[in-house]
Structure 1
């Protein structure tokens, strides 16, 4: 009898432990789709993207994620999407789109930490960019990271996939790219690579001057998974692992300016006058603080870029909020979400106005 009673108690304890673990796991991984989850749009595979069955996460009827695979990048990759609150109730309406590019070593869910990205006047799409993807098609495709054609994934697959599955306004005047830190490089790089896609670009504390060898060093540090890189602050979850160590030349080739070895770095440098000239018809906004070691480099990059834009006669809006006091009580002028989030909150209404103005022209 005693053994039977103890056995029943042990089984009950295991059930309670399992239930507790399930609740804890759900809290960590976030909401997932269930039969009673809010209805969200259905997506059809295409443009090289295949959805992962049962991997959809539904946070609300206007906040959800899908997960896709593609030969262009290794592993399943999440795309988080915010819809306007009346997207479902206005089935005949089309919407502008803003693409949000996270920093390293973050992921698509970093967008959830930025309330300003949830707009009732546009769709926001936050695709995974890898812990150190650098929004580039890597020179080396045989590293421990596997396939790493991030630029191709985003520009040739995600953008047309979104246009095919959601009611977007599929032209450059109604499409923007916004990025912070690593994603700040990505936003400028994508806007310069495809000015036919993006009519608006914003870079927040971005690595936008590859002529600055401190910035090149930061990129290399992420390749080597050195936590002294742009870490602890460019992901909404704080300092995290940049993933497996890869060759220091894996992404952009050699960073050293010897015998033209750094030609890829120079070709993709957002601060080069050749690349900046491609933004002649693009709305450009740059944000930076200057109150820590990283922000001092991003501030220097903003000065370089705006000076060259001025010489080219290309207008831009640059905001250096210094120690953060002029931006928000949460901002200390450092490289962190306490500053990124209010900077985005400042930018989004301006972007909404630009989208609205384009609709009337």
Structure 2
């Protein structure tokens, strides 16, 4: 009898069978080729996408959007924004880069830059691939509302500004966080001067200083009077390395406003010099 009681006690104390872990899926991925290299295009769909079959969504294209790059951070910050009503929910498309200077920057006439990054200079080809392959694929496969936004930081920020300057109709709005405007003797900052108004653009500057800073100041001075923009000056607060995760929520708030009236109460005030565009 004692043996039976002991066996029963041991059985009661034995741990339950361990649950089987299941995959945690946050999105979908498609492998495409650009500039002779295979790369991932990662898609994170909004919560409610499957449950609302008639609803259409904005699309945010995030450069450097590989799984080992900025995809998870970008998806997390976007989701956090939507939880608070800070920016609209959207389809997030992360575009992986392999050789950032080659893919994101135009040719340079600066000898030091040429020596340090000899493969740089194919941004136009990469842009053509995004325009001719990536965007049509996304628009054919997913329920979009016709609006599309391009986001990038550093070299990718230069790509954003150059796209906005040379092919403005490709996207509805742009966000260039700490763009590398020192490239090619600040040439891009001289390209945008003129009277033509383009889609809204979010721009920011951290502690980069030097030619990056002077390039940004020239770009801002050359904006046409009617150009909608939001310039976030964080030179005293952010480092180049902290600018993307620090400012992506604000960039999305500017480009994809929700219209709710409580954001200032929660500290989500747009801390940028603004003119026109999204509010």
Question: Residues 168 and 313 from structure 1, CA distance in 2 versus in 1: closer, same or farther, beyond 3 angstroms?
Answer: closer
Aligned to 2:197: 280
Contact 1:81 1:124 in 2 (8 A): yes
Question: Residues 135 and 354 from structure 1, CA distance in 2 versus in 1: closer, same or farther, beyond 3 angstroms?
Answer: farther
Deviation at 1:278, TM superposition (A): 8.2
Aligned to 2:180: 207
Aligned to 1:350: 254
Which aligned pairs between 1:123-202 and structure 2 lie closer than 5 A? 123-132=91-100, 133-135=102-104, 149-170=125-146, 174-202=147-175
Note the alpha carbon deviations across 1:32-66, whole angstroms, 9 max, x for none: xxxx75xxxxxxxxxxxxxxxxxxxxx52x43322
Question: Residues 123 and 276 from structure 1, CA distance in 2 versus in 1: closer, same or farther, beyond 3 angstroms?
Answer: farther
Question: Residues 165 and 87 from structure 1, CA distance in 2 versus in 1: closer, same or farther, beyond 3 angstroms?
Answer: same
User: In the comparison of the two structures, how many residue pairs are matched?
Assistant: 219
* Distance (whole Å) between structure 2 residues aligned to residue 278 and residue 129 of structure 1: 33
Give 2:243's match in structure 1, choosing from 339, 350, 360.
339
Unaligned runs of 5+ in 2: 1-21, 83-88, 109-117, 261-279
Where 2:257 maps in the other structure, the secondary structure is helix
Aligned to 1:270: 188
Aligned to 2:274: none
Where 1:353 maps in the other structure, the secondary structure is coil
Q: Which has the higher contact order (CA 8 A, sep 6+)?
A: 2
Give 2:48's match in structure 1, choosing from 83, 86, 97.
86
TM-score (norm 1): 0.53
Unaligned runs of 5+ in 1: 1-35, 38-58, 216-268, 325-332, 357-361
Aligned to 2:11: none
Question: Residues 211 and 307 from structure 1, CA distance in 2 versus in 1: closer, same or farther, beyond 3 angstroms?
Answer: farther
* Distance (whole Å) between structure 2 residues aligned to residue 144 and residue 288 of structure 1: 27
- RMSD value, Cα: 3.2
Where 1:98 maps in the other structure, the secondary structure is strand
Give 2:227's match in structure 1, choosing from 298, 310, 314.
314
1:117 matched to 2:78:
yes
* Distance (whole Å) between structure 2 residues aligned to residue 346 and residue 164 of structure 1: 29
Note the alpha carbon deviations across 1:48-99, whole angstroms, 9 max, x for none: xxxxxxxxxxx52x43322223xx4222101122211111111111111111
Deviation at 1:270, TM superposition (A): 3.1
Question: Residues 107 and 84 from structure 1, CA distance in 2 versus in 1: closer, same or farther, beyond 3 angstroms?
Answer: closer
Contact 1:288 1:322 in 2 (8 A): yes
* Distance (whole Å) between structure 2 residues aligned to residue 168 and residue 152 of structure 1: 21
Where 1:202 maps in the other structure, the secondary structure is strand
Contact 2:61 2:92 in 1 (8 A): yes
Deviation at 1:202, TM superposition (A): 1.1
Larger proportion of strand: 2
* Distance (whole Å) between structure 2 residues aligned to residue 165 and residue 355 of structure 1: 29
Deviation at 1:289, TM superposition (A): 1.0
